[in-house]
Amino acid sequence: MNNRQKQVLSTIVKLYTETALPVGSQALLKYSDFGVSAATLRSDMVTLEEEGYLYQPHVSAGRIPTDAGYRIYVQEMMGEETLSRRDQEHLQKELLMLRAKHTRLGRTTAKLLSALSGNLVVSGLIDKDEFYDFGMKELIEQPEFQEIDELCRLVETLDSLDEKLEGVMLQLKDGETRIFIGKENPISGIDNCSMIVAPYQTSEGRGVLAIIGPKRMEYAKNKSLIEYMRKLLNSSLILLVTGNVIYLIK
């Protein structure tokens, strides 16, 4: 894969994430200046398809990333995204407010991450076998899950997701964040989804955070969200609010 083909693949991932529509050469040209013709871009797309990074759902349609396409994008093209100061303070403030209401920690974190990611989030303590989830409605409303058979399979799998996550946690090291894409998913039945999972540790026990969404999810954003939330949960911080300023004191 040459540099231009990497740029083509990266752009297709970004456009498909935004639109959920197959991407053609004209859409690529409108999005970015590749310095080549539409015919050359179509040739690059054919090459990427032959190498297994793209596929064409219909003869007259553009291309969609495959699991392998998403994998190479996440590993080599995505880069790291730092959560903005505004989002960091928002998470801190909301976490403090919800804890002040004595909301359970798993429920609090699931609700916050689901609101910010727009995906299904599961959070809970493994030792206590206590899990909460938010965002099921947002997930099943995605275009990928409009076929009734696919929807039923997804809902049935997610209904017992907490039990299956315990097995996933055995594969993770402390401080590790894992991204499972499509068929890589260790939980059978959600191979049309991707899952970002991270363990955390509090005085109450070992817990897990998981963001589950369509394969065209915003990987960099969701990874930064889950890692920042884990940082808050792992640390023994006292959150104090004075006016609109939040202070984190060890």
Residue 149 is part of a domain; what is its CATH number? 3.30.450.40
Range of the domain at 213: 85-249
Report the predicted TM-score, pTM, of the whole model to 2 decimal places: 0.86
Mean pLDDT of 40-46: 92
Q: Are residues 70 and 121 in the same domain?
A: no
Instruction: Report d(CA 170, CA 149) in Å as an integer.
Output: 31
When pLDDT is averaged across residues 21-39 and rounded to a whole number, the result is: 89
Residue 214, beta-bridge partner list: 193
At residue 239 the predicted structure's pLDDT band, cuts being 50, 70 and 90, is very low
Q: Does residue 177 share a domain with residue 104?
A: yes
- Tell whether 102 and 25 lie within a shared domain: no
| Residue 100: per-residue pLDDT | 67
- Please give the helix or strand (H or E) that residue 120 lies within, else none: strand 120-125
Q: Which range is least confidently modeled, 79-88, 101-110, 129-138, 185-194? A: 101-110
Alpha carbon distance 30, 246 (integer Å)? 43
**Residue that terminates a domain, selected from 77, 103, 118:** 77
Mean pLDDT on 135-151: 80
Q: Give the total number of structural domains in the chain.
A: 2
Does residue 99 have a pLDDT over 70?
Answer: no
